[in-house]
Structure 1
Amino acid sequence: MSDNSLRLVWIYPDLLSTYGDQGNALVVERRARQRGLDVQRLDVRSDQQIPTSGDIYLIGGGEDRPQRLASERLIRDGRLNRAVSNGAIVFSVCAGYQILGHEFINDLGERQQGVGLLDVVSTRGEAERCVGDVLADIDPQLGLPPLTGFENHQGVTHLGKTARPFAKVRFGKGNGVGDGYEGAYNDTVFGTYMHGPVMARNPHIADLLIKLALDVNALPPVEDRWYEALRQERIAAATQPA
């Protein structure tokens, strides 16, 4: 990657793009362009090969059958794993988050292999579905303000030894395990259950991905505070008594 360009890949919008998750790609693209970067965005459908030359890869959520199909095709394709081994950044949401792990429960009620980029395993929760606004504190090592988002999932995700919790939940269910954690990440791969789309509520996450892709410690500031009103509104909604 050159110093003034960013290659952004949106994976399988025909299978994985619920609750406005494609908005994540729009926000990353906008935040990068505001810093003067030349953004090359590629939307890759499920009948196309994943390019290995991307800098940031985004995966959204989806229903159970599309999730199974997406996982099968990503494994068969193999190029996302190759891109990560070359240093690419990946951010995934809900079904996409589960796909990045070792396995999840598919629409047939069977254990389905994931692509293994995150040390997590997802099962089907026995309790009520996790639905509603979430407020969580992102891992302090990432240096980001609180996370706000919307969750809607039956899955329960267990973190392995090499996966770090993305955030600690104040309100909401998060991974659904009962340990109070939400999402997971390692050095370059991130997963969350948060919709919203999550980047619109938390554009600082988009900035983090851009910094990691550019391998820089900071980005030039931008005069763009439209999202703060939305953040405060949703944080207030999450903290109000039911």
Structure 2
Amino acid sequence: MSTAPVRIVLLYQSLLGIYGDHGNAMVLTRRLQWRGIDAELISVDPGDPVPTDGAVYLLGGGEDTAQITAVKELKDDGGLFSALDDGAVLFAVCAGYQICGHSFTIGARDEVIKGLGVLDVETRRGPERAVGESLSRWTLPDGTTSLITGFENHGGWTSLGPDATPLAAVEKGWGNGDSRTEGAVQGQVIGAYPHGPILARNPQLADHLLEQALGRSLDPLDLPEIEALRTRRVAAVREGRP
């Protein structure tokens, strides 16, 4: 008996795709296929119906106007909310992370815009822009830790409410703006600031998202070239090299 492919849903690449974050969807799809798991990458444009049977949904980085449009489109469509209610995982980066909160600000007048409300966070313009390589320490559900590396470029600073917990503790960089915490987790929704794409630079985080969505552990992948690149990247960040 055949089973349906695992669907990875890339949301609004034309709006929230200016930093290469679509690579996160490609990484998830390929890591499933390398394990012999049938996977399908679905790219959803504004105006297209959002499928409700996805396993992982992805939002990327973008500009102010794109954020407003994305929020309106996703609220009007409703498919993402239905998928989350059914247990899907949402992974959002930078601007995508900000719109998942209750509100965020845009423009020189700091206009407050209501977000999707799936993360208990609020984003406001910070006193300076957070730009540069970042490194943070992530504690996995089993208590082990792993480093998350990436490149951040955001003017918004995000504060977490009681229903959200930080994704990681900052070792280098700004993170949520306080230089202490990075990202937020609430149920099956995870937000983070680094680009890179972040899942290409952090394969353990990619597998964590897949395991959350599938509800089971995945066999490890033996890809020494990826681990070697990651080791060099972490060393470069710690040494302050580009």
| Equivalent residues of 2:67, 2:95 under 8 A apart | yes
1:174 counterpart letter in structure 2: G
Q: What is the RMSD computed on CA atoms of the aligned residues?
A: 1.7
1:106 counterpart letter in structure 2: I
| Higher mean displacement: 153-162 or 33-42 | 33-42
| Equivalent residues of 1:148, 1:198 under 8 A apart | yes
2:45 counterpart letter in structure 1: R
Q: Which runs of 5+ in 1 are unaligned?
A: none
Q: Can you list the C-alpha shifts for 1:55-85, whole angstroms capped at 9, x where unaligned?
A: 1101111111111111121112222111101
Aligned to 1:219: 218
Matches within 5 A, 1:30-109: 30-107=30-107, 109=110
Q: Does 2:228 align with 1:229?
A: yes
Q: Can you list the C-alpha shifts for 1:198-217, whole angstroms capped at 9, x where unaligned?
A: 0110011111111111111x
Aligned to 2:119: 118
Change (3 A) 1:27 1:147: same
- Percent identity over the alignment? 45
| Equivalent residues of 1:92, 1:190 under 8 A apart | yes
**TM-superposed deviation, 1:241:** 4.8
**TM-superposed deviation, 1:177:** 3.0
Matches within 5 A, 1:196-215: 196-215=196-215
**TM-superposed deviation, 1:175:** 0.2
Aligned to 2:153: 152
Aligned to 1:168: 169
**TM-superposed deviation, 1:169:** 0.3
| Equivalent residues of 2:63, 2:95 under 8 A apart | yes
TM-score of the superposition, structure 2-length normalised? 0.93
**TM-superposed deviation, 1:4:** 7.0
**TM-superposed deviation, 1:239:** 1.3
2:161 counterpart letter in structure 1: G
Equivalents in 1 of 2:210, 2:145: separation in Å?
14
Equivalents in 1 of 2:129, 2:3: separation in Å?
44
| Equivalent residues of 1:88, 1:188 under 8 A apart | yes
| Equivalent residues of 2:139, 2:146 under 8 A apart | no
Aligned to 1:8: 8
SS in structure 2 opposite 1:173? coil
Equivalents in 2 of 1:241, 1:43: separation in Å?
36
Q: Can you list the C-alpha shifts for 1:133-178, whole angstroms capped at 9, x where unaligned?
A: 1110013436452101110001000001010100000000000035
Equivalents in 2 of 1:201, 1:212: separation in Å?
19
1:235 counterpart letter in structure 2: V
**TM-superposed deviation, 1:187:** 2.0
| Equivalent residues of 2:100, 2:117 under 8 A apart | yes
Q: Which runs of 5+ in 2 are unaligned?
A: none
How many residues are aligned here? 238
| Equivalent residues of 2:26, 2:41 under 8 A apart | no
